[in-house]
Amino acid sequence: MEPRPPRRPVDTVIRQPRQAELRPLVGEAVAERRPQRILSTSSILFFAFVALILVGGLLLALPISSNEGKFTPLELSFFTATSAATVTGQTVVNTSTYWSTFGQAVIFFLMLVGGLSFMAVATFVLVLIGQSSTISDSLVMRNAIGVERMGGLRHIARNITLAVVFVYLIGAAAILWRIHGMDGMSLNQSVWHSLFLSVSSFNNAGFSILPESPSGSGLERIATERLLLGFMMALIILGSIGWTVLVDLYHHGRFARLSLNTKLVLVTSVFLWILGAGVFFLAEFSNTIGDLSLGDKMVSAVFHSVSGRTAGFATMDFQMAKDFTKLTYPALMFIGGGAGSVAGGIKVNTFAIIIAAVISSVRGRPRPEAFGREIASDQISRALTVAVLGVVFIVVVMPILTLTEPNIPFLDLLFETVSAFSTNGTSVGIVPDFSLAGKILLMAAMFIGRLGPLTLALALAPRERTVYRFVEERITIG
């Protein structure tokens, strides 16, 4: 068989697309399903708080709520309802003498629901409506109860409720042991006062209905009750430290095995407690606690450091405190408690992240770090946002209050404003002297401080639909 001759080379035809064929292909993308704005997590929390305050304010305005049997002015009833629902504790009238048993029960219910129990109920409602989780919702839930995912909230809500009720009962039993028989109270009255004080302490609400003493408030009479103050401090710490921290401590007892979040909260909290106790002990040694023994002075300093940052209980008159104390404690109140707790403020976690970033920058570290762990840059930005929003709110409110309350010293106005914003409740006793406009500003501060600057921003800001990044450019600093 003869071999085939080689094939002749032929021309290769290359077909170029026509101009009409160069048009891009257009595909129709299915729009992402997003939950309605009215059903977002932040909106639910917002409207639930509004409804709670409205119901509580109307109930407190009824004649049955006051000991005088008369209608209470709306500005007084709604201020008290806002203070109770936001677990602040600032009052215009004396809680133990003005309000009847029914009125005290309304305040008890408001601070019970407005505390950690309200957050547990909110998560249960979110599970029932089957709302999908967005980034904004995750941020809100993380700040509200310390969870990042919507899944399993029913289990978390049940555990929170059971744990809180257990702590309420244990705290009430411990307090009952110390106050039973005070001023001839019956067993039923002692149980009611103990349960009220236990819930108020754990929820960091600052309300007390203990009988008045001849020389001052009901809390002043327990200034030397070291065990009772110790029980209240334990409840305040448990309520203000944060749910995630408590769970982490329960599962991992050793400090080395704790999460970075827990380590930062614990170390920062201990530092702030020591700082607050030291300032109070030195400044008030011969002033508001001058009549106490040395041991009682030390206990009082620790108690007011713990309570003065988150709860608002006081066994002395802060109106008589030194200016140095009045200037230091607003800073502690502004920081507040842990994320996921019943306490307000910008949160210890936020403050700890900012301090860690500052220390890392001073040491020349390229990334913020703490305890051998690197902190994500987005958390640094979020912490700065929360802190700056809080400062901006105080800066905006203070000049307005100086106009509405021209006869009140600036330092006292600052103290009350920060106390309201941080839902702390520690007071120098000037709230009854506020005008209607001033009381409305304080109510707004309580409301915004309870929901949190970040939560409020997420509720009001439009949803971001486009994800993009700009070109990075460095700025000259220093």
DSSP 138-188: HHHHHHHTS---STTHHHHHHHHHHHHHHHHHHHHHHHHHHHTTGGG--HH
Name the CA radius of gyration of the chain, rounded.
28
Residues of the chain with pLDDT under 50: 35, 37, 122-123, 125-133, 135-137, 140-141, 143-146, 148, 150, 460, 462
What is the predicted pLDDT for the residue at 377?
82
For residue range 322-380, what is the model confidence (pLDDT) as tens digits? 999 999 999 999 999 988 788 888 989 899 999 999 999 898 888 888 888 888 887 88
Asked if 245 and 151 count as a contact pair (C-beta separation under 8 A), the reply is no
Asked if 131 and 137 count as a contact pair (C-beta separation under 8 A), the reply is yes
The 10 Å CB-count burial string (b at 16+, else e) for 177-202 is: ebbeeeeebeeebbbbbbbbbbbbbb
Is pTM beyond 0.95? Reply is: no
What is the predicted pLDDT for the residue at 144?
45
What is the predicted pLDDT for the residue at 460?
47
**In terms of C-beta density within 10 A (0-12 exposed, 13-18 middle, 19 or more buried), how is residue 378 classed?**
exposed
Task: Identify how many contiguous H helices and E strands the chain contains and give both numbers.
Answer: 18, 2
